[in-house]
């Protein structure tokens, strides 16, 4: 076989024989679709078909694919330096990106630790919290409080703060650190607020406060754990309770950061700042894997006073110059665009065009926030079967569990978004 020039059939044969895809079985592999190119909001399949992408590659390609401004940033940096170790070295793209992140995230977050994936940024945030309390002589503060229906990644510490029952990682429960869980917020975004909505969280926090290093949550939007949208008042209350009981607050903005919810960061809906914040996914506009964990002076100074005197982490590819360069270009492109207007336009269109699903007896709920549209079914869906029908309809939508949802690029045109919503309305229509 000539591996330099593979046909569509050869690619699928290798895939079926050797490639392990995320959340898949090699004994019963799910169908896959060969993408040969991508541009704008379209994926080109190896057999010549085109699909309108409703997932923005798991929520990160916020500007679409093959964007000339981002291409130029990568190409320019490639001619200078593709990678260099970050131990004892600084370079211009990293310095620019650190300053940009400090400038646009909620004050007083002003220290930036780079890594190469969202899960690792969560690991780093947890290690920061643990090392902070060890430095304070409070090593017993070693657990985390988090929310059911939450999702924070697939590495071990990150798995420990995902929902242990309904989440994706219950098989590992016996070997994971046992964390503290509060009920998922019952207060939907935009609905009337009752203080009782915080009762279970407050009970868990006050009961375990002497053991808790930090609270970790996804602000406003719980992503892969259930695509739930909750009230900013809940987040305000969490911040106040953490302050009252001397517990750090970690905000996982990996899915929500960089405009997805209608605010640059979802914490802004509540007007709060966490002690530690994780960002990733859309950080590079979907071009390369890069993440960052930010913290405030309190956390940084505490770690500096620890037994080690330094933060004990150092990924090989942290602050990769290519990734930092394209992240700078992506943030620049976002901030110079009318992103708020685009998000408002997408939100209004999703609300109007997904509304017919509310009448289906198979649908439990339809909800929209920013550039996120969700149809929640009453029963678990057949992912492969739905995927096939969506592809036949000319769109790329990847359901999971009971959820069929879209998170398109911010520059998607109205006609293309209509194709996505029409496919959902048609494919989910009961027989």
CA pair distance 142, 120, nearest whole angstrom = 18
Q: Which residue has the tokens 């200078």?
A: 80
Q: Among residues 23, 192, 379, 431, which one is catalytic?
A: 23
Active site residue 234: no
CA pair distance 53, 35, nearest whole angstrom = 11
Active site residue 149: no
Q: Which of 35, 71, 67, 62 is nearest to 412 (CA)?
A: 62
Q: Among residues 252, 263, 287, 416, which one is catalytic?
A: 252
- Spatial contact of 343 and 392, defined as CB atoms under 8 Å apart: no
- Spatial contact of 260 and 371, defined as CB atoms under 8 Å apart: yes
234 CB-contact burial (10 Å; exposed 0-12 / middle 13-18 / buried 19+): buried
Structure-token pair, residue 413: 């045109």
Active site residue 252: yes
What are the φ/ψ torsions at residue 390 (nearest 5 degrees)? Answer: -65, -40
Q: Among residues 111, 127, 149, 151, which one is catalytic?
A: 151
279 DSSP β-pair partners: 292
CA 136 to chain centre: 31
Structure-token pair, residue 338: 């009318």
Sign of CA dihedral 223, 226, 232, 234: negative
Active site residue 281: yes
Q: Among residues 127, 141, 149, 281, which one is catalytic?
A: 281
Q: What single DSSP character describes residue 372?
A: E
- Number of alpha helices (DSSP H) and beta strands (DSSP E) in the chain: 13, 16
Spatial CB neighbours of 251, under 8 Å, sequence gap ≥ 6 = 217, 218, 219, 265, 266, 267, 274, 276, 277, 278
DSSP codes of every residue in 46-80? TTS-EEEESSHHHHT-TT-BS-HHHHHHHHHHHTT
Active site residues: 23, 151, 252, 281
């Amino acid at each position: 076989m000539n591996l330099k020039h593979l046909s569509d059939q050869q690619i699928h044969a290798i895939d079926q024989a050797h490639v392990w895809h995320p959340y898949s079985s090699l004994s019963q592999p799910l169908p896959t679709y060969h993408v040969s190119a991508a541009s704008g909001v379209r994926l080109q399949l190896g057999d010549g078909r085109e699909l309108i992408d409703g997932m923005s590659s798991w929520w990160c390609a916020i500007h679409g694919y093959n964007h000339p401004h981002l291409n130029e940033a990568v190409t320019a940096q490639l001619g200078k330096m593709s990678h260099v170790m970050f131990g004892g070295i600084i370079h211009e793209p990293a310095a620019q990106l650190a300053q940009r992140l400090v400038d646009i995230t909620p004050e007083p977050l002003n220290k930036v630790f780079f890594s190469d994936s969202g899960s690792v940024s969560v690991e780093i945030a947890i290690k920061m919290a643990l090392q902070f309390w060890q430095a304070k002589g409070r090593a017993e503060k070693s657990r985390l409080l988090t929310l059911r229906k939450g999702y924070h990644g697939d590495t071990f510490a990150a798995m420990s703060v995902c929902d242990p029952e309904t989440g994706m990682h219950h098989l590992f429960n016996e070997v994971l650190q046992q964390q503290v869980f509060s009920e998922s917020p019952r207060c939907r975004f935009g609905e009337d607020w009752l203080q009782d909505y915080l009762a279970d969280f407050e009970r868990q926090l006050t009961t375990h406060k002497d053991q808790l290093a930090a609270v970790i949550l996804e602000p406003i939007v719980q992503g892969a754990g259930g695509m739930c949208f909750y009230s900013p008042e809940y987040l305000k209350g969490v911040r106040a309770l953490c302050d009252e009981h001397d517990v750090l607050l970690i905000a996982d903005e990996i899915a929500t950061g960089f405009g997805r919810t209608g605010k640059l960061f979802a914490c802004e809906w509540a007007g709060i700042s966490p002690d530690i914040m994780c960002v990733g996914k859309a950080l590079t506009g979907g071009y390369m894997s890069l993440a960052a964990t930010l913290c405030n002076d309190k956390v940084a100074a505490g770690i500096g006073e620890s037994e080690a005197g330094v933060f004990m982490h150092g990924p090989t590819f942290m602050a990769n110059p290519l990734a930092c360069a394209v992240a700078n270009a992506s943030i620049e492109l976002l901030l110079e665009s009318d992103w708020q207007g685009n998000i408002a336009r997408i939100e209004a269109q999703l609300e109007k065009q997904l509304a017919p699903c509310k009448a289906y007896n198979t649908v439990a709920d339809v909800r929209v926030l920013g550039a996120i549209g969700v149809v929640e079914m009453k029963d678990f869906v057949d992912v492969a079967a739905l995927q096939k029908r969506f592809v036949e309809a000319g769109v790329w939508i990847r359901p999971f569990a009971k959820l069929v949802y879209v998170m398109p690029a911010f520059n998607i045109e109205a006609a293309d978004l209509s194709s996505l919503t029409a496919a959902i309305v048609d494919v989910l229509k009961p027989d």
